[in-house]
Structure 1
Amino acid sequence: MSILNLGIVAHVDAGKTSLTERLLFDAGAIERLGSVDAGSTQTDSLEQERRRGITIKTAVATFRLGALTVNLIDTPGHPDFIAEVERALRVLDGAILVVSAVEGVQAQTRILLRTLQRLRVPTLVFVNKTDRMGADPDRVIQQIGPKAIPMWRDHEEALAECDDGAMAAYLDNRRIDTAGLTREAKIMPAYKGSAITGEGIAELTRAVQDQLPAAKTEDHRTLQATVFKIDRDGAAYVRVHDGVISARQRIGDDKVTAIDDGHRTSIRAGEIGRVYGLKAVRIGDTIGAGVTQPAVFAPPTLEATVEPKDPARRTDLHRALQRLADQDPLIDLRMDEERNELKIKLYGEVQREVIRDTLAEEYDLAVTFGETVTLHLERPAGRARAGAVLGKDGNPHMATLELELAPGQGLEVAVQVPVEHIPMYVYKTAASFQDAITRYCRDSFTRGGLHGWDVADVAVTVTRCGYSAPNSTAADYRRLVPELLSKALAAAGTVLCEPVHRFAIEGPADALTATLGALPRFGAVPDVPGSARGRFTLGGTIAAKRLPELERALPGLTHGEGTVETGFEGYRTVSG
């Protein structure tokens, strides 16, 4: 039996959940076709999802297509919940990108397109809502780009232009291996139809069976798995890439107590299952021999304080927020000790509203949010060194340590001391010592900058180390690292950086001059504009905190005909 772990991704309101519902219904997995508007869909099971008409949490549903078992993963479309999409992408064998035939390629669509291509996820495109007024599937294909091949037209020539082997087959009048090109992520076959009426679904379903790669099910006995969702009852959704997870198996300090509510005894390579008993795992964790993957989407760039309306329930609020942070680590709950405030990271206002309603409905906690602030970060401005020697110069710690700090990429930690200088009776191995120092550095750099922000893009090198057995302990190094890093940062200095978004504005050609003239007011840096068919296109960058001003001004600048798409670009130095 073959298995396919299939993701459905889209910009909000493109019809992603309706397509999920249609696929489940046509495959016989559900008896009745649900509706997003009526709040009766299979995968939008949360009350807030039904009320708001949007997907908030990733959902998994299973159906059969002949001998193929499909684990269908429905992801949120709203950008405030992009973290949910990121985690889903890590466990997919293939994806369906849903695009509205009316609205076309939108902001989130472009972000998803870039990510799917960067990760080389085999992808089909479904141009939805062809039953609506104004639908133009061919325009959508042009917006996506040359990798999108419209299968409703003569597509042999377009296929040939995507690959040398395909071109040779085309010139020799041989059949082009469309499935091979899809599985290598060289093309994205596109289909059109309507999830509501069922038009085009049969063609899409055949493509799922014929063109997307089934999961690799080789069992090499070395467990490697990814946790991509945690339910409120503590069940962890796990994709096993290799090896087996079995009931009663020990994983770290935890023991698997049940799988899929006790209906299964194991999860094998290629499969997905709900695992109970893994109390220590968090979303995004790798179980077994795997290597943790870097984030593929932008981190949250906003932060807000949260306070209970009833001050006596502050402890209850902290506990509830911690549970939500366990389900979504990017919330990144922290206590501001100086101000005695609880703070969480956010992607946007919709996410804040969802957290507020969740606290009220599931934990009976009424809360207020403080002003949302834009998160900055600091980068080291230069190179510096700080050290302390055991028993000298008032060093209160039973440890010798010297650290050199310099600009880097991410957090880089290197240990350049002889192994005999490391207290192996404490850390067991040199690798464990390096892991511990990395952990101490990461903790120290959280709000450890000279301006009070997180420190990023820094390289730390251990250039000297010493100990006194058996008196030196891990606590000595854990306390000494932040002291030395603080001194090194003060000597090196830091550069304050702010988050920046890239924008793409489209509007009527006669509004270009006004739009270009207004951009400096918002601190935006424009690219060279382009124009076609009476419309202009204009890209550029803008500080995240100024973006709402541009969005509010755009209708007036473009006679109400302008649109703007944005995406996180990175961080830049704050001028002045």
Structure 2
Amino acid sequence: MSIHKTARIRNVGIVAHVDAGKTTTTEHMLFESGRIRSLGRVDAGTAATDWMDVERERGISVRAATTVFQWNDCTINLIDTPGHVDFSSEVERSLRVLDGAVLIVSAVEGVQAHTETLWNALRTLRIPTIVLINKMDRVGADAQRVLNEMKKYLSPDVIPIQQYDGLEEAFLGVKGLWDLDEEGENHRIADSQELYEGVLERMAEHDESLLDAYISGNKVPDSVLVERLIGLTRQAEVYPVLFGAASKGVGIQELMNAIVEYLPAPAGKSEDPLSGVVFRLERDKVMGKIAMVRLYGGRIQNRDVIRNTTLELDEKITQIRKVHAGHHDDVGMLEAGDIAGVCGLSRVRIGDILGSEDSVPPAHRLTLPLLTVQVSPVQTADYPQLVAALQELSDEDPLLDLQWHQEERELHMKIMGPIQLEVLTHVLQTRFGLQALFGQPTIIYKETPTCAGFGFVAYTMPKPCWAILKFHIEPGPRGSGLVYHSIVKPEKLLPGYQNEVARRVPEALQQGLRGWEVTDLKVTLVEGEHHVWHTHPLDFVLATPMGIMDGLSNTDTTLLEPYLHFRITAPEEANGKIMHELILMRAVFDYPVIAGERFTVEGTIPAATSLDFPVKLSTLTGGRGTFTTRFDGYRECPSGSEMTRQRRGINPLDTSKYILSMRNALGSQRS
């Protein structure tokens, strides 16, 4: 793909809190561009990008939908992402492959907790972003209030570049500060000097020449200001704000113009080495597994054999398809900068790197599943089919992290929330013809070392075996996860054996003293020894968990529980009752802020104590209260808390039983 051709592509995601109007906006963009001939409706289940049965029935997006359309001689690959926090994993995988984003904020509800989560992810990844304040025609719309919220909670660098005419029923439309004339030159069309000066003032914070002109009162030509605005937007320094009413199609063409003008084209050329990432998996009844691929460099064609660097294997492409809302067109080629569905990669998984990883941006974790649930078939005979179905769904969403315990005939999955459970139940029924029962979701706790200490193992009997390890284990800062390194010299323990230990330490920490994953710790291999004749690499597979668990028994562990940052908005008369409930739930919160007849309170709260609070809040406020949350990390449980999980397999602290069990399991692998 030439540089010129790449310049006519935009890879854009639409992100927002649930019900801000993402899918409706996408629908109108497809209609205005001629991609679809008639408008669908989310509430009627006819939106093009809500093509799954469950989406049409519930009126919400549960999967990121990829579509493509043409506008102003530009190909726009658009990803409509789910807004509900239960489906954050779909959003985080999409963010990785975007060059730009449109964040939609409701003019009525304003900035909500999940809006902030999305914004923080966009900023971490430095994704250039346009903001659309939608639903300007709805009762309760207040654009200025929402702008103030955005400057407070998101960034002071949000810059309105449009005038809006009226609010609520009186909303008539928008007028841009500039527009392109027939020669492609920008000229001013809005008559607001205040709007112009607002743009200049904010831009001057980022540009010295504009700052000098602003301070001295010199006139800045519109063409210069627009050029700098485009440049700073593409560098993710400032964020243009537009207004609209997507349900009526107002402001949609202006939004599409802004996507082409302000958001960047993808980098990379088809002459570059092959470099791409798989960010989604879809299933087709005829073609089987379809891997959605964003290509950062190189070119692939039908029948090419390409390298899956992550899995270290080669696979042959059978077809390359452009995907639009569940429909596919065979295009035969995918070039740098573009997105398409690739067929024939039977073993591929989400996150796999194709070719070189040098050009692929890192993944970003939006949130974590905080609940675990047990799954069982209604009909016992369906057990094998249920395992296979859930494994397939886990391939499509790795955060489900399916755990299949064959001996106990138990299936466990991690989930984000109750709506995800409803969707999983529906998908198992409609896609696989299976009826499943889900147990009561329980909170996922974690453990962390209480103090520093050593773990030691000398696995030298029964022969033949020899693996001696000594670990230093110490607590780490909250949120640091596992930090592992070795200070053992290669002559004491061969690099191959050290690599085996490094691979097994994370596995050994999956179950701590209380059965939960151990996190936020630093593990250092301080001593290690192998034997020239008796050691086999598998000895370290067996020895590592024994050394780690010995260390944890010496350090002891502290129980951690997940916390949420919350924001409650409710009628003022419910203030006292809500404060009382928050105290009972061990919440930590600021003083409530009262505005008009409503109040807002923010703080942090344990996930475990607040599972049922949304229902209680609805009762306390007659349905007029809102409770929005985002994950805020793990913290220590109150002293005396004892939440244990049944251990799977033999505990490595029971050394004789563990060695016997592991040697039987590993026996066939020893040479």
Same fold (TM over 0.5): yes
CA contact (8 A) 1:161 1:167 kept: no
**Counterpart residue number, 1:150:** 160
Q: How does 1:144-223 map to 2 (within 5 A)?
A: 144-145=150-151, 146-153=156-163, 154-159=194-199, 160-161=201-202, 163-165=205-207, 166-171=210-215, 172-174=218-220, 175-176=224-225, 177-218=228-269, 221-223=272-274
**Aligned-partner Cα distance in 1 for 2:282–2:623:** 43
Measured against aligned partners, the alpha-carbon deviations of 1:224-282 in whole angstroms (never above 9, x if no partner) come to: 32211001231111112234445222333231322424944543321112122333332
**Counterpart residue number, 1:224:** 275
Please state if 1:365 is matched with 2:434.
yes
CA contact (8 A) 1:450 1:490 kept: yes
Residue in structure 1 matching 2:365, options 290, 296, 301: 296
Going from structure 1 to structure 2, the CA distance change for 1:15 and 1:561 (only over 3 Å counts) comes to closer
CA contact (8 A) 1:104 1:140 kept: yes
Identity, in percent, stands at: 38
Please state if 1:420 is matched with 2:475.
no
**Aligned-partner Cα distance in 1 for 2:409–2:32:** 54
Q: Report which stretch shifted further, 80-89 or 57-66.
A: 57-66
Please state if 1:274 is matched with 2:329.
no
Going from structure 1 to structure 2, the CA distance change for 1:60 and 1:556 (only over 3 Å counts) comes to closer
| Residue 336 of structure 1: how far off its partner (Å) | 4.2
Please state if 1:327 is matched with 2:327.
no
CA contact (8 A) 1:555 1:561 kept: yes
**Counterpart residue number, 1:442:** 506
CA contact (8 A) 2:565 2:603 kept: yes
Please state if 1:455 is matched with 2:455.
no
CA contact (8 A) 2:157 2:202 kept: no
CA contact (8 A) 1:230 1:282 kept: yes
| Residue 92 of structure 1: how far off its partner (Å) | 0.5
One-letter amino acid matched to 1:50:
R
Q: Report which stretch shifted further, 1-10 or 547-556.
A: 547-556
SS in 1 for 2:162: coil
Measured against aligned partners, the alpha-carbon deviations of 1:292-328 in whole angstroms (never above 9, x if no partner) come to: 8354311100011000011122111111111110000
CA contact (8 A) 2:96 2:363 kept: no
Residue in structure 2 matching 1:348, options 406, 410, 417: 417
Q: Report which stretch shifted further, 229-238 or 284-293.
A: 284-293
One-letter amino acid matched to 2:149:
Q
SS in 1 for 2:610: helix
Structure 1 regions of 5+ residues with no counterpart? 428-432
**Aligned-partner Cα distance in 2 for 1:19–1:215:** 23
**Counterpart residue number, 1:399:** 467
**Aligned-partner Cα distance in 2 for 1:565–1:42:** 28
CA contact (8 A) 2:457 2:546 kept: no
CA contact (8 A) 1:223 1:289 kept: no
| Residue 437 of structure 1: how far off its partner (Å) | 3.1
**Counterpart residue number, 1:430:** none
Q: Report which stretch shifted further, 530-539 or 189-198.
A: 530-539
CA contact (8 A) 2:92 2:365 kept: yes
Measured against aligned partners, the alpha-carbon deviations of 1:540-562 in whole angstroms (never above 9, x if no partner) come to: 11110211344334356557644
CA contact (8 A) 1:250 1:256 kept: no
CA contact (8 A) 1:258 1:265 kept: no
One-letter amino acid matched to 2:264:
P
Q: Report which stretch shifted further, 86-95 or 510-519.
A: 510-519
**Aligned-partner Cα distance in 2 for 1:360–1:558:** 36
**Aligned-partner Cα distance in 2 for 1:256–1:538:** 56
**Aligned-partner Cα distance in 2 for 1:410–1:554:** 34
Structure 2 regions of 5+ residues with no counterpart? 164-193, 322-328, 640-671
Please state if 1:260 is matched with 2:320.
yes
**Aligned-partner Cα distance in 2 for 1:470–1:234:** 47
Measured against aligned partners, the alpha-carbon deviations of 1:415-455 in whole angstroms (never above 9, x if no partner) come to: 2122234445x57xxxxx54x43331222222x11111111
Q: Report which stretch shifted further, 492-501 or 160-169.
A: 160-169
| Residue 532 of structure 1: how far off its partner (Å) | 4.0
Please state if 1:103 is matched with 2:149.
no
| Residue 468 of structure 1: how far off its partner (Å) | 3.5
| Residue 63 of structure 1: how far off its partner (Å) | 1.2
**Aligned-partner Cα distance in 1 for 2:556–2:14:** 46
Going from structure 1 to structure 2, the CA distance change for 1:80 and 1:8 (only over 3 Å counts) comes to same
SS in 2 for 1:484: helix
CA contact (8 A) 1:254 1:277 kept: no
CA contact (8 A) 2:464 2:534 kept: no
Please state if 1:83 is matched with 2:85.
no
**Counterpart residue number, 1:410:** 481
CA contact (8 A) 2:49 2:67 kept: yes
Residue in structure 1 matching 2:306, options 236, 249, 268: 249
**Aligned-partner Cα distance in 1 for 2:430–2:618:** 37
| Residue 366 of structure 1: how far off its partner (Å) | 0.8
One-letter amino acid matched to 1:346:
I
**Aligned-partner Cα distance in 2 for 1:74–1:470:** 59
Measured against aligned partners, the alpha-carbon deviations of 1:323-377 in whole angstroms (never above 9, x if no partner) come to: 1100000000003467431000000111011111111111111111111101100
Structure-1-length-normalised TM-score: 0.92
Higher relative contact order (CA 8 A, sep 6+): 2
Q: Report which stretch shifted further, 542-551 or 130-139.
A: 130-139
| Residue 22 of structure 1: how far off its partner (Å) | 1.1
Matched residue pairs, number? 567
| Residue 535 of structure 1: how far off its partner (Å) | 4.0
**Aligned-partner Cα distance in 2 for 1:71–1:320:** 30
Q: How does 1:304-315 map to 2 (within 5 A)?
A: 304-315=373-384
Q: Report which stretch shifted further, 251-260 or 19-28.
A: 251-260
**Counterpart residue number, 1:284:** 351
**Aligned-partner Cα distance in 2 for 1:58–1:359:** 19
| Residue 395 of structure 1: how far off its partner (Å) | 7.9
Structure index of larger Rg: 2
| Residue 456 of structure 1: how far off its partner (Å) | 1.1
CA contact (8 A) 2:113 2:567 kept: no
**Aligned-partner Cα distance in 1 for 2:543–2:346:** 31
Q: How does 1:107-146 map to 2 (within 5 A)?
A: 107-145=113-151, 146=156
CA contact (8 A) 2:591 2:601 kept: yes
Structure-2-length-normalised TM-score: 0.79
One-letter amino acid matched to 1:268:
E
Residue in structure 2 matching 1:240, options 252, 272, 295: 295
**Aligned-partner Cα distance in 2 for 1:243–1:482:** 43
| Residue 388 of structure 1: how far off its partner (Å) | 3.3
